[in-house]
Amino acid sequence: STKTCHKCGHKNNNITLKDRQWNCPKCGTHHERYHNAAINILNEGLKTLKTEPRGPGG
């Protein structure tokens, strides 16, 4: 989600809807909400691909 740091995985629950950007209190990475969300979605997608069992002949 937009609240999760894609670098260290820290969840920042202090973010409100009006915060378009934030700094991770744990690793200090600067995040822009939509960009960070996009990266997290991408990471989730990659994870899903990796854990998916291979079909026959895979």
Binding mask 19-48 for Zn ion (x = CB under 5 A): -----x-xx-x-------------------
Instruction: Using the minimum distance from each CB to Zn ion, give the nearer residue, 2 or 24.
Output: 24
Identity of the residue numbered 35: H
Give the nearest distance from C-beta 19 to Zn ion in angstroms.
Answer: 15
DSSP notation for 6-57: TTT--B-TT--TT--EEE-TTT--EEEHHHHHHHHHHHHHHHHHHHSPP-TT
Give me the residues that bind Zn ion (CB under 5 A), please: 5, 7-8, 10, 24, 26-27, 29
